[in-house]
Amino acid sequence: MRLRLAPGLHGAMIEGDLVLLDVAADAYFCLPAAARDLVLSGSELEVTPAALAEGLCEVGLALPLVAGLGDARPTPPPPTRTARRLIETLDAASRTRPCHGLALTKAVAAAIAGRRLAFEALLPAAVPFAVQPPTPALLSDLAVYRRIVPWLPIDGACLFRSHMLRAYLTTLGHGVSWVFGVRTWPFSAHCWLQAGDVALDDEAERLTAYAPILVL
């Protein structure tokens, strides 16, 4: 039976286990060994046992698939490079120029506001994945941000750090993607910014442990 994930749900298959993210509830669910009975493709599910398909629909995790309502968005490539290392190749002038005051102000405002918002309210509308690697201008702006941010009285979990950096970079006109990933056994969720195959605010080697479940 062909189904689609209910609105606000996102999924990832990890070594046969189906992990679901409910954005509205800010909660994750796991269906172990699900690969025996279903195939996940984007937001579409091909479920073999009728009883399982009915059960997923009854608990509100899935809906019957209607033509044209599926999600064919591609999975982003795993990050293989780290922006921190690319920044080291920039000339000194690019790495030490003054910070853009308006962009920094908007980033700080976003970080402060984000503390009071629910997870769903933090998320921007879905946009195409930033397939192009970071430009020299993006790396230069990121270098300046990295130099300034340790002096700001704002810190927190990856969600708020990425939210703040995204506000800074998008204000300056850079296209970046916000990637949410999960791993299992033990379960862990994480998020980071990415452009092409370059991790902008984390180490690529560490992120290979996570499977993308939501990309914005």
Per-residue pLDDT of the chain (216 residues; tens, 9 = 90+): 999 999 999 999 999 999 999 999 999 999 999 999 999 988 899 999 999 999 999 999 999 987 655 555 566 788 999 999 999 999 888 888 888 888 999 998 988 888 888 999 988 876 667 678 899 999 999 999 999 888 876 766 899 899 999 999 999 999 999 999 999 999 999 999 999 999 999 999 999 999 999 998
**What pTM, to 2 d.p., does this model score?**
0.91
| Structure letter (DSSP) for residue 123 | P
Q: Could you tell me the strand order of the sheet in which 17-22 lies?
A: 9-14, 17-22, 27-31
Domains in the chain: boundaries: 2-64, 81-215
- Please give the torsion angle defined by the CA atoms of residues 175, 122, 10 and 192, in that order, rounded to the nearest 10 degrees: 50
How many whole angstroms separate alpha carbon 43 and alpha carbon 12? 9
